[in-house]
Amino acid sequence: MESNRQLLSTDLQLIGMSCVNCAAKIEKALNGVPEVKASVNFATEKAHVEFDPQSVSPEALIKTIQNLGYQAFEVNSEFDAQKVKEIAAAEYQHDFRHFVISAILTAPFLLEMVLMFTQGHQEFIPRWVQFALATPVQFWIGWRFYVGSYHALKARSANMDVLVALGTTMAYLLSVVVIVMKWHHQHVYFEASTAVITLILLGKLMESRAKGKTSEAVEGLIRLQPKMAWIERDGNWIETAIDDVKLGDKVLVKNGEAIPVDGMVVEGHSSVDESMLTGESMPVEKNPDNHVYAATLNQDGVLKIKATSVGAKTQLAQIIKIVTTAQGSKAPIQRLADRISSVFVPVVVLISIVTFFLTWFFLSDLQAAFVASVSVLVIACPCALGLATPTAVVVGIGKAARMGILFKDAKALELGEKVNLVVLDKTGTITEGKPVVTEVHGVSVTSELEILSLAASLEHGSSHPLAHAITSGASAKGASLKPVQNFKVISGHGVEGLIDGVQYQLGRPDWVAGGGFLQNELITRLESQGQTVMVLGSHDRILGYVAVADRIRESSKKAIADLHALGVQVMMLTGDNEGTAKEIAKQAGIRDYKSGVRPSDKAGIIVTMKRQKKFVAMVGDGINDAPALAMADVSFSMSSGTDIAIETADITLMNNDLESVVHAIHLSKATLKKIRQNLFFAFFYNVLGIPLAAFGMLNPVIAGAAMAMSSVSVVSNSLLLKRSKTGS
């Protein structure tokens, strides 16, 4: 595929798949179209397709799917998602009606089977009645299996429909031959064909309900999106549909209402519950110039906001898109199941044929040979194998989203459990990334409040991050600002200006000291604690000291301790000096750190660690972290970071909390554990079931029930992830 072409992507909802082989067939056909890369997920019944719009259109892709005997349509909006839900509900009701009719027609056969077990082999229902009951089940209720088989064989492949149609048809036709030929000594197997079809329909209904629960996380996010908004038009507030809100509109959000758009507060004060985005239960104070996000809940007060993102551009919409795409992606561990499923059905048909002839040859019993052959066909459906991985991935990624952890794809979810080294950027990752005033010391009679007033007045005209820390600290203490004349920024040193006719300087200790090196115990202590010290002076006379530091996040120390408890090594990279790096590392509980690291060096350190057989996760938030994030085996980005860092990272942490890295690794381990359990049970089921059926130890009815329940058990096991205590 040409790299200079702009690829588009779309999601297609698929209708009519009966097993994982159907998904594999659709995926193969789509990938056979030039300039197309597709991934089909049987569990979610969706295809994620990347394509070159100059070469192919979504309509052409849908046509390719239709030619295989399936239906498809694009799903790229909330309207489409609702349409999918309505179609799924209609299909479920249709299947439920068919199941009820099939169950009613099959019930007499089950009664006869019970009577046969208790009173011998006498037939209690006349054979012509059995024929009348079984025929509509076989050719009306079971018609779907014939249609599916036709399309599968037409495409030179085989799926579950082929197995079911072949097995039940053999049972039905043999029974018809017995009636027509009047072989009174020969048993009829109408109960086998009808019971198998009924049980498979029941299994599909249970599977559909269980699979529907796996996508509840995304549906929950979609339901959070407000449908209406109050906007200002010509000086009046009117309520309008959310689709009519435009960028720059002023939006009114009342107490208790959900915020309809992403925006900036222009008026009002309130607390906002952002737990649906970040997973954090504590409300966030919002004041003018603060950002707010769609679907978060305004708890008290009234806010007027200016819309900065609407519709599909809001953070919630982007999260829904990320989660949906990730749930539809394939984990590398699924490749084994895909390879086995691709050849599974033909092999089973061959085993069934061999079983028939060998049983007939050794036992000289046509009836036993037939029963064993049909049982092999019925029990061998590979649905459980196909559902093993994607259902766990869908549940795991959905659970992560509710915790404020966004996995870019299933590969990132799988790789998370392998991490044995976490490399952390310091600023904005371990620390809050916002320097604050930590200590103020006056010399002689100069008070703390006066020092803050003079320092903040000087820094009011500066854009330096430390200047913002000082002005904010002064404001918090109630220090007033004074007018400054002849303000100057002395690059690399500090600032100076006239206040009330007196010349003041604020900056590096050696500069304020008149070019001499200023050293005392206070400065030594503060700098050894990782704080930056600025000195306030006038005419080479020292008036006071202001210490500023970037505080460690409250959760960082616990998160790092939890990583160590998991056996994960932690390393900190920072461009700060050795003293600051050492103190931050000490406070955070990090034993391994590197100071004075330039942005260009971070990626090189990651490569070195990987050469030492470390599986490296990098956590960062800035543009300078992007190369290191790209080089890591797994990369995490804080959502407060730059768009470049978030786009580069495999996993985005919405709550900007290192504890989320621990939760992500825990969740990855839990999900992979479920996948391995599912694969084991799916393989074990077929490895055990096929030989039992081949040796005549399972009749077709029991085989059909076991096949149906295997898929349900795999999905149910995946759903247990929802109850895991991961991240709690």
Mind telling me the catalytic residues? 425
Tally of CB atoms within 10 A around 275: 17
| Contact between 75 and 13 (Cβ < 8 Å) | yes
Please, what is the end-to-end C-alpha distance for the chain in angstroms? 44
Structure tokens at 402: 């509710």
- Which of 688, 261, 621 has the alpha carbon at shortest distance from 427? 621
Angle at 429 (CA atoms; ends 423, 430), nearest 5 degrees:
85
Radius of gyration (C-alpha) of the chain in whole angstroms: 34
Tally of CB atoms within 10 A around 342: 17
3-state secondary structure of 263: strand
Question: Can you list the positions of beta strands (E) in 27-80?
Answer: 36-41, 46-51, 71-74
- Which of 183, 60, 206, 163 has the alpha carbon at shortest distance from 713? 206
Distance CA 174, CA 500 (A): 109
The full DSSP string for 264-300 is EEEE--EEEE-HHHH---S-EEE-TT-EE-TT-EEEE
| Contact between 550 and 431 (Cβ < 8 Å) | yes
| Contact between 264 and 219 (Cβ < 8 Å) | no
- β 592-594/569-573 pair status: parallel
Torsion, Cα 378 380 383 384, to 10 degrees, reads 120
Reduce the secondary structure of 657-708 to three states and give it as a string.
CCHHHHHHHHHHHHHHHHHHHHHHHHHHHHHHHHHHHHCCCCCHHHHHHHHH
Structure tokens at 411: 């590969």
Reduce the secondary structure of 636-659 to three states and give it as a string.
EEECCCCHHHHHHCCEEECCCCCH
Distance CA 204, CA 146 (A): 17
22-34: b or e for each residue (b if 16 or more CB lie within 10 Å)? bbbbbbebbeebe
Structure tokens at 448: 């703390």
